Structure 1
Amino acid sequence: MANTLKYFQKLPQSLRTLTTSAPKNDAWLSKIFVRKIEPTKESHSRMLSDKEIIYALQTHNFRPDSKVPYLSTISQTLDFIKAQNSLAGEVELVGSWTVNVGDQDQALHLWKFTGGYEKIDTFNEITSQSEDFKKIVECQGKLVRSRHLQYLLAFSYWPQIQLRKPNNVYEIRSYALKPGTMIEWGNNWARAINFRQNNDEAFAGFFSQIGRLYNVHHIWCYEDLNKRKETRESAWRSPGWDECVAYTVPLIREMHCRIMVPTDFSPTQ
């Protein structure tokens, strides 16, 4: 009980008020900071994203001795897509990275589909009928240990993606949220993102539609790791950032971050 009191005394005043106003018969410790979400007839995706654009995030774990030939299969995939007139300007690679810190021997590739799921259906139809593409996939299958694909939507409050040059490092912070908390997350981050734009570090923010659900990915761009340190410390000195963090932490079931570097053929560097 003494530890709980000390924790409570360290909270911002606005959060103390929120906690003390809870009904006495509630298990308030399990409900701290989580505000009630009213029922709605709008889907979460429509409320949080206003773009008819789907992003595909591929996460591949390649064999430690196969990085170079594996990346060659991704480059070949990119060349194949560029050669398809029916996909021109509507299926694009946004970023391609390998992980330096976090899950080793891992690569992430972010694709953009303009035209929604209809364009994804077109892409799948073309690739399923192409013998050349099948050979690329077969070769890749011998070089990877596991693969995962998610379809994502971009948060409407996040800045538009701008390709960067040259020589940056990227951080992807991935969150598994408690079911039913996506709107609450969006409400808080619509405010929190304002604290993270001073150094143009906000690259992209997504939530999952297909694949692992209630997943959120925030991708940040920094000149180097030291700049990352300075930028994050600067956010904590901004009044209001601590409160945004306090509201969102109870919504998370699991989180992890990875530091990534762009591949040679990545459009964003």
Structure 2
Amino acid sequence: MAIHLGNSSNKIVQNLRHLSTTSAKNDAWLSKIFVRKIEPTKESHSRMLSDKEVIYSLQTHNYRPDVKAAYLNNVKNTVEWVKSQEQLKNSVNLVGSWTVNVGDQDQALHLWKFTGGFHQIDKFNSLTDTNEEYEKLREEQGKLVRARHLQYLLAFSYWPQILAREPKNIYEIRSYSLKPGTMIEWGNNWARAINFRKNNDEAFAGFFSQVGRLYNVHHIWCYENLNKRKETRESAWRSPGWDECVAYTVPLIREMHCRIMVPTDYSPTQ
């Protein structure tokens, strides 16, 4: 039995064919932009992206709202204890200490630097596991917090050197959860993207995780205030090439969030 289509039906079929063809062309075009071929290598990705002789630890603590002062005093005493240990001098240093102002409320982040890699971290853990004074500080802290998380991080080699800031500033930590296998591609694109902002003083630190939640990236930016942050970010979007770098990295992200932080009184960077 033959089926005859009217003029209107023929137009529908033609439109569907056009849509199908257009969609296929668009998909092919997008794949050329967003898909990057990562060549096989005998070197680990972390070795290609960073210096493994320096490890950073990022402590994230959710403290109880009613004990903020006691919690911060506990961390201050812990920092002073580390400074007092002769065997840790010049090898374990606090880089920054912040409380979250916008984002996850009642949260604090502490960034430590271990010069000497995981060997130095092993040495630190051996010392703290057998020290009664440190154990008391840890037990006290356990009564003041609701949750804790620790990550060991490596600094991206293309990021500017970490320098302490003063006077008082605000900090933004932008945290990204990437698709597994995309860290090299992220690094390749951000090695170009950072050039659009490295002449400004806001690029504080850039890390990727080694132990803890994996395929995590943290970019920490420093601003005079929220309005300065707005002006700086708008200026970056006016730079030719910045939008292209963003377009290449967005498809690599599974999840992202930002937090605005303020330094504690005892933070080395203000």
If the length of structure 2 is used for normalisation, what is the TM-score? 0.89
Distance 2:127 2:53 in 1: 21
Structure 1 equivalent of residue 76 of structure 2: 75
Structure 1 equivalent of residue 186 of structure 2: 185
Cα distance, 1:115–1:18 mapped onto 2, change above 3 Å:
farther
Runs of 5+ in structure 1 lacking a partner?
Answer: 9-16, 23-27
1:27-42 maps to which residues of 2 (within 5 A)? Answer: 28=31, 33-42=34-43
Whether the aligned pair in 2 keeps the contact of 1:34 and 1:250 (CA below 8 Å) is no
Structure 2 equivalent of residue 236 of structure 1: 237
Partner SS state of residue 235, structure 2: helix
1:13-28 maps to which residues of 2 (within 5 A)? Answer: 20=28, 28=31
Cα RMSD after superposing both structures: 2.0
Structure 2 equivalent of residue 254 of structure 1: 255
Runs of 5+ in structure 2 lacking a partner?
Answer: 1-14
Q: Counterpart amino acid of 2:109?
A: L
What displacement does 1:198 show?
Answer: 3.1
Structure 1 equivalent of residue 12 of structure 2: none
Partner SS state of residue 164, structure 1: coil
The answer to whether residue 246 in structure 2 is matched with residue 210 in structure 1 is no
Number of corresponding residues: 250
Structure 1 equivalent of residue 99 of structure 2: 98
Structure 2 equivalent of residue 13 of structure 1: none
Distance 1:146 1:70 in 2: 13
What displacement does 1:196 show?
Answer: 1.3
What displacement does 1:32 show?
Answer: 5.6
What displacement does 1:19 show?
Answer: 6.2
Q: For 1:168-195, what per-residue CA distance to the aligned partner results, in whole angstroms no more than 9, with x for missing partners?
A: 0000000000000000000000000011
Q: For 1:16-67, what per-residue CA distance to the aligned partner results, in whole angstroms no more than 9, with x for missing partners?
A: x996457xxxxx5xx8602111111110100000251000000000000011
Partner SS state of residue 80, structure 1: helix
Which is further off, 180-189 or 75-84?
Answer: 75-84
Structure 1 equivalent of residue 117 of structure 2: 116
Q: Looking at CA atoms only, which structure, 1 or 2, has the larger radius of gyration?
A: 2
Q: Counterpart amino acid of 1:137?
A: R
Distance 2:228 2:64 in 1: 31
Q: For 1:217-244, what per-residue CA distance to the aligned partner results, in whole angstroms no more than 9, with x for missing partners?
A: 0000000000000000000000000000
Q: Counterpart amino acid of 1:93?
A: L
Whether the aligned pair in 2 keeps the contact of 1:19 and 1:33 (CA below 8 Å) is no
Residue identity over aligned pairs, in percent, reads: 77
Partner SS state of residue 66, structure 2: coil
Whether the aligned pair in 1 keeps the contact of 2:46 and 2:52 (CA below 8 Å) is no
Whether the aligned pair in 2 keeps the contact of 1:66 and 1:143 (CA below 8 Å) is yes
Distance 1:131 1:41 in 2: 44
Structure 2 equivalent of residue 135 of structure 1: 136
